[in-house]
Amino acid sequence: MKPASYRRLTEMREQTDKEFGKLVQKLLAIAFLETGVEALVERSIQGIDLEVTIAGKRFAFEVKTCEGDSLTLGKKDLEGLEREIKTGAEAYVAVLAGGLLDEWMILRYTPGEIPPSKSLSTFDLRPYRNRELERRVGDAFEETLEKHAATAIYKRQKGLDSELERYPARELA
């Protein structure tokens, strides 16, 4: 991640506190839309965080942010992903850690391999990375962050929702 993106994220984290995760989720949604996905559903409350259709294929994402090098996935999160798998989607956990050198980690979720409600090391999750998806969304996310970080900080979720509404591919949850 560029130092500028890191600084933007750090400031966002400092200023938005508990909303940070949701804001990052929406920024990721915008980033996906910027890459030209066919359809995208972003949920702020219940259910899977992001559903994205790329080249006719459905991808489900649980979005997580963490400050250190560990995160926890709740049972409900994993159950949600498992439900998506049953409907034919590929399930992923998208993780953004807060370090200067951290990038998006888009981790393929295979039921049973990631235990719920347990502190997971981002190092241990590396084998599940989908580099292609990471490449696809990584640059777009940094550009989105540059564009909309101020909106995220000053207008919060509503501001980013307004941005999301501009994209025809965005579908209502």
Instruction: State the residues that interact with another protein by CB under 8 A.
Output: 2-4, 7-8, 11-12, 69, 99-101, 121, 123-127, 129, 138, 146-147, 149-150, 152-153
For 72, other C-beta atoms within 10 Å of its C-beta total 13
> Cβ closer to another protein: 118 or 126?
126
**Which residues, including other chains, have CB under 8 Å from residue 60's CB and lie 6 or more apart?**
48, 50, 51, 80, 81, 84, 85, 89, 90, 91, 92
Cβ of residue 171: shortest distance to another protein, in angstroms? 25
Smallest gap from residue 139 Cβ to another protein (A): 8
Comparing CB distances to another protein, the nearer of 30 and 89 is: 30
Least distance between another protein and beta carbon 2 (Å)? 6
From edge to edge, which strands make up the β-sheet containing 104-108? Answer: 104-108, 90-97, 57-66, 50-54, 39-42, 170-171
In this complex, which beta carbon is closest to another protein, that of residue 150 or of residue 173? 150
Report in angstroms how near the CB of residue 146 gets to another protein at its nearest.
5
- Nearer CB in complex with another protein: 153/169: 153
User: What is the spatial distance between Cα 60 and Cα 54, in angstroms, rounded to a whole number?
Assistant: 11
Q: Work out how close the CB of 101 gets to another protein at its nearest, in angstroms, rounded to a whole number.
A: 5
153's tokens: 């900080």
Q: Which is nearer to another protein, 60 or 97 (CB)?
A: 97
* Alpha-carbon gap, residue 65 to 149, rounded angstroms: 16
DSSP lists the bridge partners of residue 52 as: 40, 59
Distance of alpha carbon 60 from alpha carbon 55, whole angstroms: 14
